[in-house]
């Protein structure tokens, strides 16, 4: 799902850079209010977790690969704002050091996987699970939180690809960036995530959330009534 350089026009990646920077400013403020200093190392662990699972790319037909992200599980356990920071750090390191995702596309990749995905996952979990502590309910909510957030981010990425032929063309009418329109880009991104990677993300989210739910001394952010440290 990492967007490389050359696929998005400045008309797309510059506004997404702006949105990402604004969202990060809010996230930093929120995390300072909600997370005590002693819990900061957990954010580093969450960033490392996201970084590691994104490095396990699975090949799919068509010559592309996909991977889990971990945004939903981090959002459920530590909160969506903490997830924004953790996943963004992982994505930025991947782009700058490992070349996984373009430099110009950092804003877009972070917007898709570190801003939208955590909030979609967290809201899905809260909607399905509510205040229930039943293991079955938690498992279902966690799975769909991971699955839906992954598919949503994939469709969003496909949309960003697909609008390029509409907004950035040369004098000859040919696309200057991603050449695939919405009819191709969205299905190409959505299908593999609906059938494969969304399920992988859902299972990863389920296993980890269930583990934390069983640990009475490990409070889960999604079950907190107020955004206060515990």
| 130-134 average pLDDT score | 84
For residues 51 and 92, the model is more confident at 92
Q: For residue 175, list its beta bridge partners.
A: 169
Q: How many CB atoms lie within 10 A of CB 142?
A: 30
221 vs 74, 131, 225, CA distance in Å?
Answer: 9, 12, 9
For residues 193 and 226, the model is more confident at 193
User: pLDDT at residue 225 above 60?
Assistant: no
User: pLDDT at residue 150 above 70?
Assistant: yes
Q: Note the pLDDT of residue 219.
A: 63
- Residue by residue, DSSP assigns 154-187 as HHHHHHHHHTHHHH-B-TTS-BSS----HHHHHH
H/E run at residue 65:
strand 64-66
Q: Note the pLDDT of residue 68.
A: 86
Q: Note the pLDDT of residue 62.
A: 54
Residue appearing with tokens 């299905």: 187
The string of pLDDT tens digits covering residues 88-129 is: 999 999 999 988 889 999 999 999 999 999 999 999 999 999
| 10-21 average pLDDT score | 97
Q: Note the pLDDT of residue 65.
A: 67
Q: Note the pLDDT of residue 64.
A: 63
The model's confidence at residue 33, banded by pLDDT at 50, 70 and 90, is confident
Give the chain's domains with CATH numbers. Answer: 10-223 (1.10.1760.20)
User: pLDDT at residue 207 above 90?
Assistant: yes
* Dist CA 203 CA 62 (whole Å): 24
For residues 180 and 43, the model is more confident at 180
């Amino acid at each position: 799902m990492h967007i490389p350089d050359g696929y998005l026009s400045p008309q797309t990646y510059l506004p997404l850079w702006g949105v990402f920077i604004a969202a990060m400013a809010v996230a930093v403020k929120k995390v300072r209010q909600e997370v005590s200093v002693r819990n900061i190392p957990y954010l580093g662990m969450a960033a490392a977790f996201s970084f590691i699972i994104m490095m396990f790319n699975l090949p799919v037909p068509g010559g592309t690969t996909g991977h889990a992200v971990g945004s939903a599980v981090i959002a459920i356990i530590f909160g969506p704002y903490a997830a924004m920071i953790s996943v963004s750090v992982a994505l930025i390191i991947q782009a700058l050091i490992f070349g996984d995702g373009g430099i110009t596309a950092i804003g877009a990749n972070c917007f898709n996987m570190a801003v939208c995905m955590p909030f979609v996952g967290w809201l899905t979990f809260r909607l399905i699970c509510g205040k229930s502590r039943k293991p079955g309910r938690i498992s279902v909510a966690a799975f769909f939180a991971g699955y839906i957030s992954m598919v949503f981010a994939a469709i969003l990425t496909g949309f960003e690809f697909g609008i390029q032929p509409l907004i950035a063309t040369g004098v000859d009418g040919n696309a200057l960036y991603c050449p695939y329109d919405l009819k191709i880009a969205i299905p190409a991104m959505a299908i593999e995530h609906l059938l494969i990677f969304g399920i992988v993300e859902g299972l990863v989210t389920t296993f980890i959330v269930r583990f934390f739910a069983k640990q009475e001394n490990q409070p889960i952010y999604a079950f907190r009534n107020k955004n206060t440290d515990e």
